[in-house]
Amino acid sequence: MNRKLLFWLALLAIGGLLAYRVAGGDFNWTLFASSLSNVNLGWAAASITFSILSYLLRAARWRALLASLKPIPLSNLFWATITGFSAIYVLGRTAELARPLWLARREHVPFSTAIATILVERFLDFLMLIAVFAGALMVIEVPPESAGILSSLKNAAWFIAAIATAAMGILFLVRSRVESLAGWIRQVLSSGAAAVVEDFARGLHSLGSVGTLARVVVHSAVLWIVIAVQSWLMFFAMDLRLSLEAATLVMVATAIGSVAQIPAIGGGFQLAWIFCMTTFFSMPGEQAAATAIIAFVLSYVPAIAVAAVYMLAQGISMRELSTSARPGDQESLSRP
């Protein structure tokens, strides 16, 4: 594990423990230490395998979205995907641009077109996330005192689903009205701005094809099933005998929590995990804190490690990866 990452993880854990003690908690260090060291390596390896598989599935979905624009080898998209997501984990949300920039520079796909494919991915992820969440809520049992919180989560989930559905509808509208929209922009603004809109609409081409849209929806469904199983395997790795539905509930919460996180540290992921484990499954705070660190490592560190090996093989430095998150740099990640 990267020393800097290990340092920040340890600092985060210490900060959480100090906050807990300041709040008046009687922290059980023995339980925390035993929970932190109680990892079954076999189940952990299975979880890591499914984690890496999820990036391959993301790459396959991306290829389906790009199929009508340009055939790109799955291996290329896999390395771009796992490196791009690792950049987000290490550098923060500003690195969301790393993947579309890679596509623009290496495969010569217009940047706005690449952005459109990423947006479609994100909206599909939101919809699938809510779908698996709704399925888990139908069968999961939680303590009676947590019913009110679960109800609030349901409402929030439907709100997110409504926003994602509306956004997909807007993308469909842009796709179907691109010529008139580009013509209006050309008159009001400039030909350059109209060209950007046209490039963006080309990235939405999959939304105009029933067959392609069906393929990416199936890819998305399989992807999130794999992610749910990966989360479930993490529970076994930590000797937590909870159901697949429970793992799915925690997965959704941590996915939402990950939207707001500190680069290389997380924060939102761990807080969401601790909240779920203590609120819905009555886990002691010490054990929840320890398992949150383990879950963060199992979920993110393998992808970062694989991406680091690839970057070393390709001669890409972390500074170049950081710079690639800024559209103004036209040289980063431009190697063939």
pLDDT tens figures, 309-318: 988 888 776 6
Mean pLDDT in residue range 199-228: 76
| Core vs surface per residue 28-66: b (16+ CB within 10 A) or e | eeeebeebbeebeeebbebbbebbebbbbbbbbbbbbbb
> How many residues does the structure list for the chain?
336
* Residue 240 pLDDT grade (very low, low, confident, very high; cuts 50, 70, 90): confident
Q: Note the pLDDT of residue 171.
A: 66
Say if residues 128 and 221 touch (Cβ distance below 8 Å). yes
Give Cα 5 distance to the centre of its chain: 19
Q: Worst-scoring range by mean pLDDT, 211-225, 268-282, 320-334?
A: 320-334
Contacts 24+ apart (CB under 8 A), 267-272: 267/12, 269/295, 269/296, 269/299, 270/12, 270/16, 270/295, 270/296
pLDDT at 330 over 90: no
Distance CA 84, CA 332 (A): 13
- How far CA 6 is from CA of 31, 92, 146, 269, 294, in Å, comes to 21, 17, 34, 16, 12
Distance CA 220, CA 4 (A): 33
Q: Note the pLDDT of residue 1.
A: 45
pTM, full prediction: 0.75
Token pair for residue 329?
A: 């740099």
107 versus 93: the higher-pLDDT residue is 107
Mean pLDDT in residue range 166-180: 68
Q: Note the pLDDT of residue 309.
A: 92
Q: What percent of the chain has pLDDT over 90?
A: 15
Q: How many C-beta atoms lie closer than 10 Å to residue 91's C-beta?
A: 18
Q: Note the pLDDT of residue 126.
A: 80
Token pair for residue 70?
A: 């340009």
Instruction: List, for residues 265-280, the tens digit of each pLDDT value.
Output: 667 788 888 888 888 8
Mean pLDDT in residue range 182-194: 63
Maximal CA-CA distance, the chain = 70
Distance CA 273, CA 252 (A): 10
